[in-house]
A and B are shown apart, each in its own frame.
Chain A
Amino acid sequence: MSAQDRPLSPHLQVYRWPISMTLSILHRITGVGLGFGTLLMAYWLIAAAAGPNWFADAQAFLDSWIGRIILLGFTVSLMFHFCNGVRHLFWDAGKGFELNTARNSAIAVLLGTVVLTVATWVIGYEVRG
C-alpha cells in the first residue's frame, strides 16, 4: 500500500460522529457565550449601583422580548456548562471514561440541561406572579 492509499483518520466513510464530540465543542461555545453573558450581569449590577433610572432601564431591557431571548440563551448555556463541567470533573478524577459511560453521561447532561432550564423559568415565572 503506497503512502497515498493509507486510510485517513477519521475515516470519513465509516465514521460516526460521537455525541461526546458535540458536547465537547458545545462546552467551549457555551463557555465563550457565558463570557459575553457576564456583560449582562455587569450591566444589571452597575445599574443597581447607578440609580433608579438606570435600574428601570435595565429591568425594561431584560423584560423585553430580546432581553428574554438573551436570558433564555444564558440559562441554557449556564445549565449545559454546569452539567457538562461536572462531567469533566469526573473525568479529571479518572472516572467515567468507558465508551458506554461517556455516552450515557452525555445524554444525562443534555437531559439535565433541559430539566434545569425549564425548572428555572417555570419557578421564575411563578415567583414573579
Chain B
Amino acid sequence: MGFKSPMGRARGLGSAKEGTQHWWHQRVTAIALILLSGWFVISLIAMAGASYEEARAWIGHPLVAGLLLLTIGFMFYHLKLGLQVVIEDYVHGEMVKLGTLMLSSGACLVGALACALSVLFVTFGG
C-alpha cells in the first residue's frame, strides 16, 4: 500500500535485464540442433549394427568427438530450458515447483556430464 502510482513503484526497481534470454537461448540452441541432430541421426543410421571397435573408432575420431560434445552441450541445454517452461506451466506449488526445477536441471547437468565424459574417455582413454 502507498500513494505511489504503479509507474512510480516500478521505476527504479529495475528489470533483471535478461527478460528475453531464456527465449533467445532456446531458439539459438534449436537452430544449432537442426544441424547437429541432422548429422547425429545420419551418423547413427550409418552406424546401425556397428561392432564395439567400430563404435569406439567413430566416437574417438577427433572431428566426431568434437561434434558429439557440441551436440551433447546444445541438446542438454535445450532440454533444460524446455523442461523448465513445462514445469513452470504445470507445477503450481512454489516448493514443489522449485524442487522439480532443481531436479530437472540437475538431471540435465548429470546427463550432459555422463555423455561428455564417456566421449572423452573413449577419445583419450585408449
Interface residues in chain A, defined as those with a beta carbon under 8 Å from any beta carbon in chain B = 28, 31-32, 34-35, 38-39, 41-42, 45-46, 48-49, 52, 55-56, 78, 82, 85-86, 88-89, 92, 120, 123-125, 127-129
Contacts of A45 in B (CB 8 A): 59, 114-115, 118-119, 122
**Given the known A-B contacts A32-B83, A32-B86, A89-B31, are A128 and B48 also in contact in the complex, defined by CB atoms under 8 Å?**
yes
Contacts of A56 in B (CB 8 A): 52
Query: What are 20 A-B pairs with beta-carbon distances under 8 A?
Result: A28-B82, A38-B75, A42-B114, A42-B115, A45-B114, A46-B118, A48-B52, A48-B59, A48-B122, A49-B118, A49-B119, A49-B125, A78-B37, A85-B34, A89-B31, A120-B41, A127-B46, A127-B48, A127-B49, A129-B49
What is the interface size of chain B, counting residues whose CB is below 8 A from a CB of the partner? 31
Contacts of A39 in B (CB 8 A): 111
Minimal Cβ-Cβ distance residue in A for B38: A82
Query: When the two chains form the complex, which single residue of A38, A88, A120 contacts B111, counting CB atoms closer than 8 Å?
Result: A38
Say yes or no: A128 contacts B49, CB within 8 Å: yes
Which parts of B101-126 form the interface with A (CB within 8 Å)?
108, 111, 114-115, 117-119, 121-122, 125
Say yes or no: B75 contacts A127, CB within 8 Å: no
Which parts of B20-39 form the interface with A (CB within 8 Å)?
27, 30-31, 33-34, 37
- Does B96 interact with chain A (Cβ within 8 Å)? no
Interface residues in chain B, defined as those with a beta carbon under 8 Å from any beta carbon in chain A = 27, 30-31, 33-34, 37, 41, 45-46, 48-49, 52, 55-56, 59, 75-76, 79, 82-83, 86, 108, 111, 114-115, 117-119, 121-122, 125
Contacts of A88 in B (CB 8 A): 30
A108 to chain B, nearest CB (A): 16
A123 to chain B, nearest CB (A): 5
Say yes or no: B119 contacts A38, CB within 8 Å: no
10 nearest A-B residue pairs (beta carbon)? A49-B118, A45-B118, A128-B49, A49-B121, A128-B48, A124-B48, A55-B52, A124-B45, A52-B52, A127-B48
B126 to chain A, nearest CB (A): 12
Minimal Cβ-Cβ distance residue in A for B82: A31
Bound together, the chains give a CA A129 to CA B48 distance in angstroms of 9
Minimal Cβ-Cβ distance residue in A for B121: A49
A23 to chain B, nearest CB (A): 16
